[in-house]
Structure formats: C-alpha cells, structure tokens
Homo-oligomer: A and B are copies of this chain.
Amino acid sequence: MTPDVNRQITLFARPHGVPKKSDFKLVETPVPTPGEGEVIVRSIYLSLDPYMRGRMNEAKSYAAPVGIGEVMEGGVVGEVIASKNPKFNEGDIVFGYLGWQEYASSNGKGLRKLDASQVPISTALGILGMPGMTAYTGLSNIGKPKEGETLVVAAASGAVGSAVGQIGKIKGCRVIGIAGGAEKCDFVVRELGFDACINHHDEEFAQNLEYACRDGIDIYWENVGGAVFEAVLPLFNFFARMPVCGLIAHYNATSLPDGPNKTPLLMRSVLTNRLHIQGFIVWDYASQQTEFETTMSNWIKDGKVKYREDFVEGLENAPDAFIGLLEGRNFGKLVIQVSANLTL
C-alpha cells in the first residue's frame, strides 16, 4: 500500500563554500498519481555523486543548475508501483534520474529497466552505472592505456577511481592509487589489486608518490585537483595523458588559492612533455553504453573487477552524507537506501 506522503529533499539555498545541512530542505508533498503515459516509481536507492555539488551553483557548466526550491537531482534505482505507460509494469525495477525523493513520476523517458536477477540492482548507480561508465569511457577514449605504462588514479577507493584502476590492471598497466587514509589505501591494494596506493594525508605524500612512480607517470586520472595534482605534475612522462573527470578538492572553494600563480608550471609541462589534458563527462560517450555494460558485466562475473558500496539509510540523511562525500568521509560508492529492496 502506498503511503500518502512523499518526502523530498530540495535545494533551499545555494551554498557558499562547504554545503551546510541548512542549504537543503526536507519537504513533504503528496505522492504523485500517474497521468496518461506516466509511471510512479518508489525510490529504493539514491546515488550521491560529487558532480551534484556543481548543480548547486549558478555558474555556467555542462548542465543547468538545480533551481532554488527544486528537488535535488540524482540517479535512482526504484520499483514501478503504478503505471499508465505500456512500456512499464508494476513491479519493474528501473533506473532513472528521479531526484532526491521517495516517489517520483516519470513519462518513461530516460527510464531504463534493470534485470534484478543478474547483479544487485544498486550496481546500476555505481560500477554498472554512471561512475563505472565514466571510468570505462574516460580511460579508453582519453587515457588510452598501453601495457607496461604507469597509471596513477586519484580518489582510488571511490566509485570511479576504483573502476579506473582495475581496468588499468586489466590493460596491463602498473597502477598506483592515491587515497585519503591508510584503510582506504589498504583496500585499494589488497582488494582491488592496485600495485600501490599512496595516502595523501601523509606528510611525505609527494615523496612517496614519486618513489612509487619511479618510471614516471604515463596516465593520470584527475578526479581531485589541488595538492594531489601538484604532487603528480612533476612526474609526467613525455606524451602522458590526463583525463579530467572531476576536481573535488576545488568544488567547495570560494576563492582562488594563494599565490604564486602556478599556471606556468602546468603549461610548461604541457609543452615540454607534450601532455594531452582533456576534460569529459560520461554522456560525451553515450554511444558506448552497450559496449560498456557488456564488458563490465563480464569483468564482474569473471572476478576481474570488484566494487564496494557505502550504504546510508534514510533519505533524510542524504544531505549529511553528501557533505561527507565532498570531504572523503565515504568509503566506496555512496548510496542512500531510501526504502526496502524487496528484490533481495
């Protein structure tokens, strides 16, 4: 039986710097009923991802910002509980960008049915979803890993980084992770099979990274920016590639860092090492979705790619969990368990 109340988390104010819980607002609205051609989805899992920080700002970016008072954007795995759309039946498990809420109506556009019998449905938010596809497409199209090369992966225990490094291993690279804390580094090496993982909280971080990368860096997966990037910059080999996937260290900044202006250091390396730096978002490679899903599913089945999820219970905890994500408090793909997963 469907309850009457739909809890939603809306954007209450645009954060100045680090988001506060008060920048979000939990509101209660009626659970929607389906119009002609529509379905109602009960959210089971809500994905929290760093890109959402960008949507909270007004600045020009690759996607429009969330409006004040609007439901926060986010990918959701849920169950169809009512359908007036012939393509969907009650009980279907679907993925869609349905937002931070317990119930959503959809006209079916962008909604994708999941097969709950193959892999846990939460993976559609992580290793088999946007983060996994980000890793797969960015590494293959921009990183272009070759056997024997050194691949360095920032945020190595995270949803994207963990996949990047494991794909790098499959492609024959020497893979060095960078993560925040000994426990994450341990996981990255022991569970994910990276060759080494360097703790960026360590005072000797830059020296340790240099030692681990004694043959230089051929590919750097940029997810972070800031001090992590500064330690990477002197280590690039000729013709190194740098897919720029995210810059989490910058997202909460309210002003530029103090000087000196280090842009010339970066540009000098671009010129003399012939670096290839390229930003991308996963939808730039939308045509590769089927290839990605097939390949990644097989890797998971064959035990070549592992993943870790970090579940937080309750929609009301999404703002705090999201704030923690930007600080690196999560450990693995961060997922809000909004309601029970009855497929288990």
Which of B54, B225, B276, B277 touches A264 (beta carbons < 8 Å)? B225
Given contacts A257-B261, A260-B257, A267-B244, whether A278 and B279 have CB atoms under 8 Å apart is: no
A270 contact set on B, CB distance < 8 A = 244, 277-279
Asked if B256 and A258 make an inter-chain contact with CB atoms under 8 angstroms apart, the answer reads no
Taking the complex as formed, is A263 at the interface, i.e. its CB lies under 8 A from any CB of chain B? Answer: yes
Asked if A271 and B247 make an inter-chain contact with CB atoms under 8 angstroms apart, the answer reads yes
CB distance from A273 to the nearest CB of B (A): 7
Asked if B278 and A276 make an inter-chain contact with CB atoms under 8 angstroms apart, the answer reads yes
Asked if A271 and B262 make an inter-chain contact with CB atoms under 8 angstroms apart, the answer reads no
A280 contact set on B, CB distance < 8 A = 274
Asked if B260 and A247 make an inter-chain contact with CB atoms under 8 angstroms apart, the answer reads no
CB distance from A185 to the nearest CB of B (A): 25
Which of B60, B261, B268 touches A262 (beta carbons < 8 Å)? B261
Asked if A273 and B265 make an inter-chain contact with CB atoms under 8 angstroms apart, the answer reads no
A253 contact set on B, CB distance < 8 A = 264
Bound-complex Cα distance A284 to B238 (A): 11
Given contacts A238-B62, A276-B278, whether A271 and B246 have CB atoms under 8 Å apart is: yes
Q: Report, nearest first, the 5 A-B pairs whose CB atoms are least far apart.
A: A259-B259, A256-B260, A270-B279, A271-B279, A257-B261
Bound-complex Cα distance A258 to B265 (A): 13
Given contacts A62-B272, A255-B260, A256-B264, 12 further A-B pairs with CB under 8 A are A54-B272, A62-B238, A222-B267, A247-B267, A250-B264, A259-B259, A261-B262, A274-B279, A274-B284, A276-B278, A277-B277, A277-B278
Interface hits, A6-29 → B, CB 8 Å = none
Taking the complex as formed, is A61 at the interface, i.e. its CB lies under 8 A from any CB of chain B? Answer: yes
Taking the complex as formed, is A266 at the interface, i.e. its CB lies under 8 A from any CB of chain B? Answer: yes
Q: How big is the A interface, by class?
A: 35 or more
Interface residues as binary, A102-133 with B (CB distance below 8 Å gives 1, 0 otherwise) = 00000000000000000000000000000000
Interface residues as binary, A217-257 with B (CB distance below 8 Å gives 1, 0 otherwise) = 00000100110010000000010000011110010010111
Bound-complex Cα distance A57 to B75 (A): 52
A250 contact set on B, CB distance < 8 A = 264, 267-268
Most buried by B among A229, A245, A271, A273: A271
Which of B60, B229, B258, B278 touches A275 (beta carbons < 8 Å)? B278
